[in-house]
Structure 1
Amino acid sequence: MGLYTKNGRPLQKSGSQVYTQSGKLVGRISGDKVHGPDGRYVGTIDGDRLVYRSTESASISSSVVGSSVAATAQAASVGSAVWGDEPNIPE
């Protein structure tokens, strides 16, 4: 199963790490949440979507040390109606 942002941008999962399609580290999965390399909340996984929920944005985790992974060619998906906003993930 692929992982996408709320608006359908494809992401990669490798173990408990999440990466952009180009291979840049987004963060680490902890339960249903993803925390960035600085430990700050990036988003919540809802099915196959990563969505930003302001009500959960106070969540902080330990920092993540990771390397990038190889880029992948994966088609974008259509947007989703799940509750939340598009996470702020720079490419």
Structure 2
Amino acid sequence: MDDLYTRSGRLLQRSGYDLHSRSGRYLGRLQGGKVFDPDGRYCGTLVGDRIVYRTVDSAARGTVTTAPPCPPGTGPNRNGCALWGIEPPFGD
């Protein structure tokens, strides 16, 4: 499992194409460098090891997906960064 982070530095867990919150809740799937929630709505764009929400990409649509929860993450958060975009709409 790989760690990714939001623009503000919150830990996200990546397993293949599936993305989970720190608590293990399924957030969505990576498709073509973008993250789509379980209903196929755009949630963010992958930039390095960060996920940022960009309104220019918000019209994109993905497929409906599902995945089981994963174990809670134990890694630390990181400092925020100055990437173009805003914090993605992920809950924890």
TM interval, shorter chain, is over 0.9
Residue 3 in 1 paired to residue 4 in 2?
yes
Structure 2 residues without counterparts, runs of 5 or longer: none
CA deviation string 1:49-79 (max 9, x = no partner):
0000011111111101111101011101000
Report sequence identity in percent: 41
- RMSD in angstroms over aligned alpha carbons? 0.9
Q: Give, as a single letter, the amino acid of the residue that structure 2 aligns with 1:9.
A: R
Q: TM-score, normalised by structure 1?
A: 0.96
Partner of 2:52: 51
The one-letter amino acid paired with 1:48 is D
Shift of 1:2: 2.6
In structure 2, what is the Cα distance between the partners aligned to 1:3 and 1:90? 15
SS in 2 for 1:55: helix
Runs (5+) with no aligned partner, structure 1: none
- Counterpart CA distance in 2 for 1:72 and 1:25 is 12
Q: Which amino acid aligns with 1:81?
A: A
> Residue 63 of structure 1 corresponds to which residue in structure 2?
64
Amino acid across the alignment from 1:12: Q
